[in-house]
Structure 1
Amino acid sequence: MSAQKRGAETKGKGSNKHKRVDSADCCVDEDKESLNVIEDDSGKALVVCDVEIEEYDGTELDLKNKCISCEKNPDHAEFIPIDEFKLQHLPPTHRDKNLYKLIKSMADLTVRIHVGKVSPYRPMFWPDSDRIYKPPKEDRGKEFTGSGRIVRIEQFKNGVNEEDGGRESDYTKCWCSKCQIPPSNVWWECSVDTATHNVFDGVEAAHTSLRLFFDRESCDKVIIEKVYLIYNRIDDDKCWLQFATCDQSLGNRLENMINRYITIQKKVYEKYKPNRDTDKLTFIVSHPHGCPKKVSIGHWMTREKRDEHDSTVFTYSACTCPGSSGANVHFPGYSGFPEFVHIGVNGLGFNTCGANIADY
């Protein structure tokens, strides 16, 4: 894995084949071109869209100004600040305590991603498309921000995870940015799920930081300054980052949060699976414009299988803005593996996630 940490190979060469798929509801197989979906050589589909990273000058003031001047959602009325989110914000048919707890739990693990340098290897266009692979050329000297979620945590002692059959880390000591000489021999490694267009390769990962628990402007700053790239693919726009911490309080806190999320998610999945295709509820927790995290609630509109493995693309009405790219998108009753990740707006103006495996 050490080679992957230092910069995984980005895959996803495309061909000129275009299979047409209908944009009508639920797994119809015509007019895919209207959804800006392109097939690569393996028969997988690339979802080509306007991604929602937020380019800025690196200052919090510029992010606030971006929020004020937003054209997509000028008043941001459909975004609910996470510290104001209540059970009553859910639709009357879904005012379920476990669903509410799941959204709060997902928010606990949502992070703001800051990328301080654009890689020279980042393409200018999506594969086999004339659509710009953001940021555009004129903004490639800027910094940008997106969202992600912590999805896994492991504790290591002397390089061994004693709870996972003795699985070994690539390291024998903690590798976090705060470790002094000698570094700690007990630490946690955390994986973050986001989009490849947020952190394209190892070059960008080396200039990436994460802000945790950014729930309000006045909250303490918890910044992760050392991040490795462990997986990325341009074809499904999936990216996994990894960071380490030897802060026992932070490690235990994140471990408890992830365990709570897993427990609640299973309950919500079982409850909503029977009616998932009629309710179509959707929610997202993200950092629009790099500001404190917000919840948005809506419904999914289309669900398209993209290959024989049931890789699926959803479109949905839950609000997003620049800065929402990479945020987890949740469809109660569906169990994506890995999680569904928001990537942007397709050619029809619908919010869309990257393709992922969905149970049917």
Structure 2
Amino acid sequence: MSTGRSCVNSEIPLREDTLRLAREARCDQGTHEVEVSFNAESDLHHALIMCDKNPGHHNYTPVREISLDKFPECVQDIEVLEFIKIKAQETVRLTCNVTSLARPEGYTFHNYRGSSMMRCGSGRVWGVFKDRIRTDIPCPFGDCQETKGPHTVSGYIKVHTAMHVIFDDAEAQSTLVDFFYDIPNDRSSVVTARGVQVVKSDVQGDYCIIDCVTHDPDLCTTMDFIRQQWTSRWPQVEKVLYGNNVSVAISHPHGCSKQFSIGTLIQREFKKVGSDQCWYKYTYKAATCPGCSGAPVWVSGGDGLPSSYAPHSGHEGNAVNRSTVWFLWKSGQEQI
């Protein structure tokens, strides 16, 4: 039995011990990039400081400080800048304190099945469907701490992440989704939703979509407005990005505040899977760290494919990262 597995449910008050356990747990996930903590939020900043993949995090920019000079000259266009700023509002932090017993042997964190170890990943709002923007949905959680007795929530919002971050319904129902966590150590603007269920996932492709609801009555309408804002900008942005081998990631490194990173697109894999659909995935050099699994990564178009995006999956070495699988539809345009 590994050291990490034997200590999962122990109460260990010393910070050096919880940091050690977190290091061991990170190794258990192979090349994926979930952040873990055995001391809840308290150890996340220490994990950031001690990061050995991107020491000092000089290749990140806080999302509120994104400017044109952060982009390569070939894509220094105000439309691209505004598009990324808008899309950054869709990036969310996911935290989960349940590791499902259904994770199979050999799968990420299988040694921690049944534990309450906190995992942190990233994700992106993939859909806010107007027929489901309601504020009168009965709260589905019997253990809800927001309000005593029967009450309502708002939703539903679909969040796209990696499957190794959220494996199944048991984990989804124990997942908190933080919106607008943009300022370090300041949660005054953060709105939180809670996962309800996994609505689409694939082990081989490593992607996952979960439904979420919130007690905030305005969140769904806000996210729908954000989607309308970037949709109108997309045609011009796609023209600027096309053929320039750029990759952009918006993520929550180490479970901390939201960051922007940019690099090159290395490779685009693409395969037809039917008359009306094909899958694709990417390798790229936009910086990532533990905590970035599931984060949206946008890449420029080329070889007949439009500029597009996929969630971050893991790394293939310190400088090379890879996405999950995602899909392109018959129209030739991904539902970005």
- 1:266 corresponds to which letter in structure 2? P
Do the aligned residues in 2 keep the contact of 1:268 with 1:332 (CA within 8 Å)?
A: no
CA contact (8 A) 1:206 1:227 kept: yes
Q: Counterpart of 2:297 in structure 1: which amino acid?
A: V
Please give the residue correspondences for 1:130-279 in structure 2 after superposition, counting only pairs within 5 Å: 133-135=107-109, 137=111, 141=115, 142-156=117-131, 173-175=137-139, 178=146, 183-184=151-152, 187-216=154-183, 217-220=185-188, 221-245=190-214, 247-273=216-242, 276=243, 279=244
Amino acid at match of 1:193: H
How many residues align structurally? 289
1:351 equivalent to 2:293? Answer no
Q: What letter matches 2:84 in structure 1?
A: I
Aligned to 2:259: 294
Post-superposition offset of 1:335: 4.2
Is residue 199–residue 211 contact of structure 2 (8 Å, CA) maintained in 1? yes
Q: 8 Å contact 1:82–1:293 — kept in the other structure?
A: yes
**d(CA) in 1 for partners of 2:218, 2:173:** 25
Aligned CA-pair RMSD: 2.9
Write the distance in 2 (CA, Å) between the matches of 1:182 and 1:136.
Answer: 36
**For the residues of structure 2 that align with 1:154 and 1:179, how far apart are their CA atoms?**
26
The alpha-carbon distance between structure 1 residues 139 and 257, as it changes in their structure 2 partners (threshold 3 A), is same
Displacement of 1:150:
0.7
Superposition pairs for residues 104-123 of structure 1, below 5 Å?
104-123=85-104
Residue number among 308, 312, 328 corresponding to 1:342 in the alignment: 312
Larger mean Cα displacement after TM superposition, 50-59 or 259-268: 259-268
- Deviation digits for residues 305-330 of structure 1, max 9, x if unmatched? 34555422211111000100001110
Residue equivalent to 2:13: none
Matched with 1:70 is 51
2:206 maps to a residue whose letter is D
What is the alpha-carbon distance in structure 1 between the residues aligned to residue 314 and residue 195 of structure 2? 27
> What CA deviation, in whole Å up to 9, does each residue of 1:52-86 have, x standing for no partner?
11111252221111111111011110011111111
Partner of residue 21, structure 2: none
Please report how far the alpha carbon of residue 121 of structure 1 lies from its aligned counterpart in structure 2 after TM superposition: 1.1
My pick for the range that moved more, 312-321 or 327-336, is 327-336
Question: Separation in 2 of the partners of 1:89 and 1:336?
Answer: 19
For 2:283 and 2:208, how far apart are their aligned partners in 1?
20
Is 1:52–2:33 an aligned residue pair? yes
Corresponding residue SS for 2:198: strand
Seen in structure 2, the aligned counterparts of structure 1 residues 320 and 149 have a Cα distance that, compared at 3 Å, is: same
**Out of 240, 246, 250, which is 1:285 matched to?**
250
Instruction: Give SS of 2:89's match.
Output: helix
Q: Could you tell which deviates more after superposition, 317-326 or 56-65? A: 56-65
Distance 1:301 1:59, change over 3 A: same
8 Å CA contact retained: 1:211, 1:222: yes
Distance in 2 between residues matched to 1:146 and 1:61, nearest whole Å = 16
Instruction: Give secondary structure in 2 for the equivalent of 1:134.
Output: coil
Deviation by residue 1:193-224 (Cα, 9 ceiling, x = unmatched): 11111100111112111111000122313222
Q: Structure 2 length as normaliser, TM-score? A: 0.77
Does the 8 Å contact 1:49/1:345 carry over to 2? Answer: no
Gaps in structure 2 of 5+ consecutive residues: 1-28
Alignment of 1:313-328 (within 5 A): 313-328=281-296
Greater relative contact order structure (CA < 8 Å, 6+ sep): 1
